[in-house]
Structure 1
Amino acid sequence: MSNPENLRYSKEHEWLSASEGGVSTVGITQHAADALGDVVYVQLPDVGDTVAAGETCGELESTKSVSDLYSPVSGEVTEINQDVVDDPALVNSAAFTSGWLFKVRLADEPQDLLSAAEYESFITSA
């Protein structure tokens, strides 16, 4: 499995894109999607909600379990991926592309996020 070099990663297995105009995209990693199994339901924060780094902001339900979704950064949700709400399997099939979850206007610079190499080392040592 290859984690894109242009993303940053949390230890809760979320990824964050580089900020474009102060807005970043959030999703879960392929590692997390594979561990979850077939995702059948996604609950995301609402547009306008404030999320806090490291705090729960939604849920992902699979045929195996329900997992909390954590925000890797603090800020205001500007968009959710309605395609994922309508077809949660996108999380499994395209975790790093069309399976993104929400966009957030950053309140401050992200802290404690890992590079692709650091994340790879983290998941292989766990």
Structure 2
Amino acid sequence: MTTYFTKDHEWLKVEGDVATVGITEYAQSQLGDVVFVELPETGKALAQGDEAAVVESVKAASEVYAPVDGEIVDGNADLEGEPAKVNEDPENSAWFFKMKLSNAGQLEELMNEADYKAYVESL
């Protein structure tokens, strides 16, 4: 499994041709207490950069973008009932959705963990 990061503070863990997508520890810390999550519908096709999900906190609402082209194959229904899980474990159990990749070449445009950490430190 390989993990990638975007400049919009999403992470994706890729296994085969499926990516599990969520928001980073940095993103959840900027949002504060998450109170609502809206997930994409299974079967929805998304292009890289499309709005895929919405996360709302007591401070702000933010979009979660599709980090690559693909089709939604699963959503984390646990988050709809317990959105605060995003604050507790953003980079593991609080994933937002899974998508089947349609252009794996786009992964080369994303950051690895070391590059993402350097990016966050530069903000």
TM interval, shorter chain, is over 0.9
- In structure 1, how many angstroms separate the alpha carbons of the residues matched to 2:4 and 2:27? 15
Structure 2 equivalent of residue 19 of structure 1: 15
Amino acid at match of 1:120: K
- In structure 1, how many angstroms separate the alpha carbons of the residues matched to 2:97 and 2:79? 10
| Mapped pair 1:10 → 2:10 | no
Structure 2 equivalent of residue 117 of structure 1: 114
How far did 1:85 drift?
A: 1.2
Q: Give 1:1-126 correspondences, 5 Å limit.
A: 6-20=2-16, 22-109=17-104, 110-126=107-123
Structure 1 residue ranges without an equivalent (≥5): none
SS of the residue corresponding to residue 18 of structure 1 reads: strand
- In structure 1, how many angstroms separate the alpha carbons of the residues matched to 2:5 and 2:103? 16
Amino acid at match of 2:116: Y
Task: Kindly indicate which of the two structures has a greater share of residues assigned to strand.
Answer: 2
Percent identity of paired positions between Structure 1 and Structure 2: 39
- In structure 2, how many angstroms separate the alpha carbons of the residues matched to 1:111 and 1:70? 17
Work out whether residues 31 and 60 of structure 2, in 8 Å CA contact, stay in contact via their aligned partners in 1.
Answer: yes
SS of the residue corresponding to residue 78 of structure 1 reads: strand
CA RMSD, aligned part only? Answer: 1.3
Task: Kindly indicate which of the two structures has a greater share of residues assigned to helix.
Answer: 2
Amino acid at match of 2:119: F
Residues matched between the structures, number: 121
Structure-2-length-normalised TM-score? 0.93
How far did 1:6 drift?
A: 4.2
